[in-house]
Each structure stands twice: as C-alpha cells, then as structure tokens.
C-alpha cells in the first residue's frame, strides 16, 4: 500500500470509528450472534491475492461489528469501564504510526523520557508519596505495564526474590530451594482473580483470607494468618491489598496492613486497578492514607482516565528490587548510555523485552483534557452513580448491598437470591443494558458500573427504566403462576407494590 492509499484508507477508517462511536446507543449493547458465527462466514484460507481496502472496511462493518459487545456504549454497566476518548485514539494512532520500541533509552529516547514525564504527572495528580516519583531522584518511580495482572505478577516475583535473598543472608544454612518452598503470600477473597493467578505463575501460594463484614482485609486478620503460618514454618512474603475490589469496590485497610508487613518484612502491593483514579479527588483523599508504607501499586489508566486499552500504571517505592530480580543482559542490548543517567531502562521493570510507546496516548490525552477535565470526568462518574443509587433507593423492591463507591452501585432485589438472578438473566437476554452479578455474605447482587464513552444522565435513566420494566414483568409472571409460595408471599407483595 502506498502513502496516498494509506491516507484514503486511514481517513475512511477514522470516519468509520467516529460514526460507530457517535451512533453506539442505536445498537443493543450485547451482540445477537451464536458461537462460531464468524468462523462460518469467513474464508478458511488466507486470500492468495491482495484485496481492496474498501472491501476490507466494508467487511469490518458486515462481519466484525455484529460480533462486538459494545464496551463504549453508555448502556454497558458490566465489570469496570475500559477507557476511550478521541484524543487517546489519536495517541494510539501516532504511536502505531511511529511503531518504535522503547525497551531501553537508546531504542527510542522519547519513549522512555515521555513515560517518565507522564508517570510523574500522574503520581502528582494522585498526590502519591514523593518517593514514587522519578523526579524524587530516589530509587522509586513509575512504569507503564500492559495490565494489572502483569503488575501484580511482577510484584509477587520481586517480593519472592527479595525474600529469598533476605532469608538466605539471615539463615545461610537453608538452601535456596528450601526457602522458596516456604514462601507464602496473602490477599482477601474480595481481591481480583489475577492475584491468585500471580501466585500460581510466580510460584508463591497466595492464602486467600475472608474479608470482614465491610468486605475488607485488615491488619488484624493478616497478623493472625501470619502468626499461624510462621508457627508452621512458612515465610510470609507479600500481601496484595485491594483498593476498589472488583465485586463491591471496597478498600482494604492499608495502614494496618502496612504495619503488619513492615513488622514481618513483607512486601505490600496495592491493586488499585479501578479505584486508583479517584485518588485524584479530594472527595477520596482518605484513600491516600497508608500509601507511604506501600512497596508497589498498580492502577489501570485504561479504566477511568479516558485512555484506551491497554495502559496500566505501576509505581515502585524502590525499583532496584525489580531491576535486581529481572536483570538479564545481552551484548546486543548494551549501549554507551546505559547506566550513565538517572533514566530507567524500562526493560528491567517488565516481563517482555519489547515495549509499546503507550506514554504517547497518555500525554496527548492528558494535555487535551488537562487535570481539570480528568477530574470532571471522574466527578461525572460519581454523579451518575449517585443518580442511579437514588433511583434504587426510591424503589421498594430493591436494596443497596454495599456503600456506593465511585462509579459503582451494588444492588439486588429484596428477598431470595433467585429473584436477583432471574432479573439479571432477563435483562441480559434483552440486551439493552449489560451488568454482571457478584456475591458477598451469601447474597447475590448486581453491579451497576458507570461505563462507556461520554455517559449521560439519560443513560442512567434508560438503565433504570429497563431494570424497572424487567422486574415488573418478572414479578407479574411469578405472581400469575402462583410461584410465590417459595418466597413466602414476598413476590405477591412486591408485585402488588409494583402495580401501585
Ligand atoms: C480490582 C481489579 N484488579 C485487577 C483487575 C484485572 O485487570 P487487568 O485486566 O488489567 O489484568 C481488575 C479487572 O477489572 C480489577 O477490577
């Protein structure tokens, strides 16, 4: 393809994307295709002759778009948001256009230096402790990883290597193998599945502790588990705390966890995949408490700060721990600038060697919105979740199950879990809005997360009306079928209320 054709193709693709995003509310949020739909329609072999870009773009519309779940639809309320904004899309285009690698300074100086700049911008925007900034000139700093899962895995592996070295120095009679076999980590049952996975991959079993009635993990719980494990000969190595759990967005008690970790020479990592963004707001200043005792922290910039997938910020109090753990040198990676400046060689801070120029989309987007625009975006998510919560509270059939946090509201139908499960099933089958369930303390509930590009009040109202309609239908049908016996008349009463 020559540059002229690329210009035409690229402009048509930009128009296509803008049309897609501007009309996204016209589509059901969930697709209406069955497994294998695409496999049946596409050729089994790579085309022998090249095709025209217009035909390819048409087929994106014809075959690909129908198979999309529309994550950028404001009717998407499942999981947590994945960010998207026009400036970030352009930032992605530019970075793809340059197609450079940034594994060390020389491989593309702008790549490393811009990452240092935006990671410090973000650390200051969140008012993180000074030692997380590159500009502090200490051993700390931030890096962009692909995902929270990678960040947690890196923390687990770094904690493992630090623990092995420390224990070997303290007890030289132990073999390295013995030490490794005794390492153990901790997290709560409200933590994301990536934590257990990081333990599996990083060969440290993670003991999953039950969260307390507020869905959080506290120092007292951790201390009790550590005491028990020390008595059994284990070596407590890392605690992975959560700021903004996937289920209810609860925040573990960092201050007391930090205290236990310090006393036991354990690494403290915080998974703030979603909630981290809200550190920027004074309304959530309390989240910053305890961050000074944290060794590492991850936040998915691609969740709620208008940056497209993928882009995860990870900060380290002492990046040397990671560099020491991962450092592998090869002659072709050596260059005359290595070790000559304060600038990091980010290849030592991550799992792969190659790295994308992710900082570019962050820089482009943050400049276009400014700190004020980013804060307004977060405040909008809070405002919309508050509006949704008000609608839930005003409905006698529904109840809130956890404190509203940021852009997340957790609610359920009063009574037996089956009602909530059936309601969600109906809503999902109708495809107008998309939400996912969770459970805590034996109660099934539905998570309503403010997501999508440019969500508005009308979208919250649309979602609530859909819930209202489906719930009213469900209750009328149950009452008509006389199925109210299993819930001891509750359904009938609720249906009567619904009719009123
Ligand atoms: C709290 C939390 N941690 C970790 C993750 C996993 O993130 P990633 O897909 O970046 O690995 C999620 C996903 O939503 C999450 O909510």
Strands 312-316 and 141-145: antiparallel
Dist. CA 126–CA 54, nearest whole Å: 45
Q: What torsion, rounded to 10 degrees, do the Cα atoms 86, 92, 95, 101 define? A: 160
User: Which 8-state DSSP code applies to residue 171?
Assistant: -
3-state secondary structure (DSSP) of residue 209 = strand
pLDDT of 40: 96
- Nearest atom, ligand 1, residue 244 CA: 1
Dist. CA 5–CA 398, nearest whole Å: 56
Overall size of the chain counted in residues: 500
Report CA Rg, the chain.
25
Alpha-helical (H) ranges within 251-358 are 254-263, 301-304, 320-326
Question: In Å, what is the CA distance from 124 to each residue of 130, 311, 367?
Answer: 8, 18, 15
User: Which residue among 215, 275, 300 is best mutated to probe the pocket of ligand 1, counting the most ligand atoms within 8 A of its Cβ?
Assistant: 300
pLDDT of 16: 98
User: Which residue among 273, 307, 351 is best mutated to probe the pocket of ligand 1, counting the most ligand atoms within 8 A of its Cβ?
Assistant: 273
Q: What's the CA-to-centroid distance between 148 and ligand 1, angstroms? A: 6
pLDDT less than 50: residues of the chain = 485-486, 488, 500
pLDDT of 486: 42
**Contact residues of ligand 1, CB 6 A cut-off:** 79-80, 147-149, 192, 194, 242, 244-246, 271, 273-274, 300, 312
Q: What's the CA-to-centroid distance between 152 and ligand 1, angstroms? A: 10
pLDDT of 485: 40
* Residue 212 φ/ψ, nearest 5 degrees: -80, -170
3-state secondary structure (DSSP) of residue 355 = coil
b/e per residue, 59-69, with b = 16+ CB within 10 A?
eeeeeeeeebe
Distance of CA 385 to the CA centre of its chain: 18
- Nearest atom, ligand 1, residue 147 CA: 10
Determine whether 300 is an active site residue.
Answer: no
Q: DSSP string of 40-93?
A: HHS-SS--SS---HHHHHHHIIIIIGGG---TTSTTB-SSS-----HHHHHHHH
Q: What's the CA-to-centroid distance between 238 and ligand 1, angstroms? A: 19
Annotated active-site residue in 75, 104, 192, 300: 192
Burial of 81 (C-beta count, 10 Å sphere; 0-12/13-18/19+):
buried
Distance of CA 232 to the CA centre of its chain: 35
pLDDT of 500: 44
pLDDT of 494: 58
**Which domains does the chain carry?**
101-356 (3.40.640.10)
Question: Contact, 420 vs 446, CB < 8 A?
Answer: yes
Question: In Å, what is the CA distance from 449 to each residue of 20, 382, 405, 437?
Answer: 22, 10, 10, 11
Q: What's the CA-to-centroid distance between 192 and ligand 1, angstroms? A: 6
pLDDT of 496: 58
Question: Contact, 114 vs 96, CB < 8 A?
Answer: no
Dist. CA 72–CA 454, nearest whole Å: 9
């Amino acid at each position: 393809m020559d540059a002229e054709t690329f210009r035409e193709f690229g402009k048509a693709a930009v128009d296509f994307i803008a049309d897609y995003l501007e009309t996204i509310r016209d589509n059901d949020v969930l697709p209406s295709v069955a497994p294998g739909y695409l496999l049946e329609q596409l050729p089994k072999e790579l085309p022998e002759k090249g095709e025209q870009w217009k035909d390819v773009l048409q087929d994106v519309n014809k075959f690909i778009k129908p198979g999309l779940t529309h994550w950028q639809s404001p009717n998407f309320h499942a999981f947590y948001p994945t960010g998207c904004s026009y400036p970030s899309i352009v930032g992605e285009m530019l970075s793809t256009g340059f197609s450079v690698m940034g594994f060390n300074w020389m491989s593309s100086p702008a790549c490393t230096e811009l990452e240092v700049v935006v990671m410090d911008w973000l650390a200051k925007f969140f008012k993180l402790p000074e030692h997380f900034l590159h500009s502090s000139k200490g051993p700390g700093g931030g890096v962009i990883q692909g995902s929270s899962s990678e960040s947690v895995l890196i923390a687990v592996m770094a904690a493992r290597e630090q623990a092995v070295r420390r224990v070997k120095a303290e007890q030289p009679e132990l073999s390295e193998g013995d030490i490794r076999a005794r390492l153990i980590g901790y997290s709560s049952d409200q933590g994301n599945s990536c934590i257990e996975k990081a333990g599996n991959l990083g060969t440290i079993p993670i003991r999953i502790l039950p969260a307390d009635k507020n869905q959080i993990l506290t120092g007292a719980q951790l201390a009790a588990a550590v005491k028990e494990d020390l008595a059994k000969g284990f070596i407590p190595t890392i605690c992975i705390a959560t700021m903004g759990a996937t289920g209810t967005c609860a925040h573990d008690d960092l201050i007391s966890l930090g205290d236990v970790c310090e006393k036991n020479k354990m690494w403290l990592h915080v998974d703030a995949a979603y909630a981290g963004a809200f550190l920027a707001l004074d309304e959530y200043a309390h989240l910053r408490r305890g961050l000074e005792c944290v060794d590492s922290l991850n936040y998915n910039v691609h969740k709620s700060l208008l940056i497209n997938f993928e882009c995860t910020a990870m900060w380290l109090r002492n990046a040397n721990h990671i560099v020491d753990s991962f450092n592998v040198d090869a002659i072709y990676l050596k260059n005359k600038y290595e070790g000559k400046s304060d600038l990091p060689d980010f290849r030592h801070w991550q799992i792969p060697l190659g790295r994308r120029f992710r900082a570019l989309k962050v820089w482009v987007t943050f400049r276009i919105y400014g700190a004020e625009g980013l804060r307004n975006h977060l405040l909008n998510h809070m405002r919309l979740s508050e509006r949704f919560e008000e609608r839930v509270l005003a409905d006698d059939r529904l109840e809130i199950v956890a404190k509203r946090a940021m852009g997340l509201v957790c609610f359920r139908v009063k009574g037996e879990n089956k009602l909530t499960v059936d309601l969600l099933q109906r809503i999902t089958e109708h495809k107008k809005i998309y939400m996912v369930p969770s459970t805590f303390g034996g109660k099934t509930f539905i998570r309503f997360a403010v997501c999508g590009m440019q969500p508005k009040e009308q979208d919250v109202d649309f979602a609530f009306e859909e819930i209202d309609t489906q719930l009213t239908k469900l209750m009328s049908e149950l009452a008509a079928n006389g199925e109210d016996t299993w819930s001891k008349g509750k359904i009938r009463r609720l249906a009567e209320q619904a009719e009123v």
